[in-house]
Chain A
Amino acid sequence: MPEQYSLEYTAVLIITIAGIGMVLAAFFASMILAPRSKSEAKQIPYECGIPPTGQFWAQLHLRYYIFAILFLIFDIEAIFLFPWAIIFRSSGAVIFYEMVLFIAILFFGLVYSWKKGALRWR
């Protein structure tokens, strides 16, 4: 089995290389084909035709930290669920009810964060 896996993922690796190669080739082609003329005005970052003001890499407050944490919790949970979904039929009732409990706890967590107002984008 491991040999088969390595064979399958070799294809993935080759496609990755081919994909990067394709993008680079496209860049190269446009490098040859495209005209180039530098000018000061062209290099200004676009801000609706006005010379940009203020700082660029500002620390925007976009209120998604709580979502990021929730995402981590639920994403990991989903990854747990996938192997379970494949084997639960063959491995008895205990596994099934265990996972139902697991989902229920997480669902309760979602309801809790909802009631706490964490899901509101303020």
Chain B
Amino acid sequence: MVKTNGDAKLTLKTEEVMVNIGPQHPSTHGVFRMRVTFDGEVVTELEPIFGYLHRGSEKLAEERTYTQVITLTDRLDYLASMSNNLAYVLAAEKLAGIQPPERAMYIRVIMAELMRIASHCMGLGFFINDLGALATPLMYMFREREKILDLFELVCGARITFSYMRIGGVSGDLPEEFMPALVKFINEMPGYIDEYEALLRENEILISRTKDIAILTAEKAINASVTGPMLRASGVPWDLRKSDPYEVYDRFDFDIPVGSTGDTYDRFLVRLEEMRESVLIVKQAMEQIPSGPFRALAPALIHPPVGEAYAHVEAPKGELGFYLVSDNSIAPYRCKIRAPSFINLTVLRDLIIGWKLADLVVIFGSFDINMGEVDR
């Protein structure tokens, strides 16, 4: 296929190849599908296709009582079920005008922050796995996630789908053996994070594979309404725990780690640092937690007045919001979920085009999406 151009240059005719990455692919974190056009190894076009895990959570919520919807939220981002629970019960409480007792709020904060650590462990672990590190850091991070899941098992008996939070509080008080176990874990965790840093932060291959790759500028991130660690990696100090404090977050002293350039390496570092900050928050919450009731006196079947409410939390993946509309029946009239993973994917195509196949996987890994949440 050698042909001669007008410039008398010899060129070989090559074609672009269209390849499906996903839904059954080792590194698409679930059943995500990207239809990618390659010129050699370089991505020239990318089209995200999803919906393979669609279960109609929003519609199902309309058929369930307000309390029953909590089990649906567990199955959104199944790596951060506690945060989902929290966001939903906040919205329902706002709608029904129920004020949870203080102790419940502290318990919820502890759970949400532990969940953030567990979720970031998984996000980072799979990100490094996509880099090709054969599961070693992933296994180390699984070890810590196990410990957190053990703690959750103590309070609610479940390890993935907790359904621990209730409208007006939590389903049960902390058991006696929980606090000593939590103290032990919180004292150990900074050491483990140091271990990850020692393993990964200065690794030359990791730096050369991620630094200056797929830079997401702050402007573009804001325009695409990207939230969570991805936004903060671009240098925007936007964290709902600080900028719109819910629960008792305004009583804690913690920093918001932000990145400088918004490249893949920054997204990795921001998550690593956030784990440290979460440990700090849990530590302070443990010291301040008051005694008292763990649940407000609210009926199991609530009939909120006609109206609407939106509540959002800083979930591990970004701003998770629930928008509830009530028609004074026992079930929500409409339940809309703002899923951070889904909205962060807006910038996927822009970031990946022009990079190579190997980068595609890594950039996608740095988004840390969860298909349960994207497809809802």
Q: Is A35 an interface residue (CB 8 A)?
A: no
B14 A61 Cβ-Cβ under 8 A:
yes
Of the candidates A48, A49, A50, A54, the one whose C-beta lies within 8 Å of that of B17 is A54
Known contacts A48-B33, A61-B39, A61-B40: A53-B20 contact under CB 8 Å: yes
Known contacts A48-B24, A49-B24: A62-B17 contact under CB 8 Å: no
**CB of B339 to closest CB in A, whole Å:** 23
Residue of A nearest to B22 (CB): A48
The interface residues of chain A lying within 8 Å CB-to-CB of B39 are 61
The interface residues of chain B lying within 8 Å CB-to-CB of A115 are none
Bound-state CA distance A63–B41 (Å) is: 9
**CB of B272 to closest CB in A, whole Å:** 30
Of the candidates B1, B12, B15, the one whose C-beta lies within 8 Å of that of A65 is B12
Q: Is A43 an interface residue (CB 8 A)?
A: no
**CB-CB contacts of A59-103 with B at 8 A, as 1s and 0s?**
111110100000000000000000000000000000000000000
Known contacts A53-B18, A54-B18: A62-B24 contact under CB 8 Å: no
**CB of A1 to closest CB in B, whole Å:** 47
**CB-CB contacts of B18-58 with A at 8 A, as 1s and 0s?**
11111111000000010000111100000000000000000
Residue of B nearest to A65 (CB): B12
**CB of A65 to closest CB in B, whole Å:** 7
The residue in A48, A50, A59 that gathers the most chain B C-beta atoms within 10 A of its C-beta is A48
**CB of B77 to closest CB in A, whole Å:** 23
The interface residues of chain B lying within 8 Å CB-to-CB of A59 are 1, 12-15
Q: Is A47 an interface residue (CB 8 A)?
A: yes
Bound-state CA distance A36–B74 (Å) is: 43
Bound-state CA distance A94–B33 (Å) is: 65
**CB of B28 to closest CB in A, whole Å:** 8
Bound-state CA distance A58–B23 (Å) is: 23
A47 B41 Cβ-Cβ under 8 A:
no
**CB of B41 to closest CB in A, whole Å:** 7
Point out residues on A near B: beta carbons under 8 Å: 47-50, 52-55, 58-63, 65
What are 25 A-B interface contacts by the 8 Å CB criterion? A47-B19, A48-B21, A48-B24, A48-B25, A49-B23, A50-B23, A55-B17, A58-B15, A58-B16, A58-B17, A59-B1, A59-B12, A59-B13, A59-B14, A59-B15, A60-B14, A60-B15, A60-B17, A60-B38, A60-B40, A61-B12, A61-B14, A61-B39, A62-B41, A63-B40
Point out residues on B near A: beta carbons under 8 Å: 1, 12-25, 33, 38-41
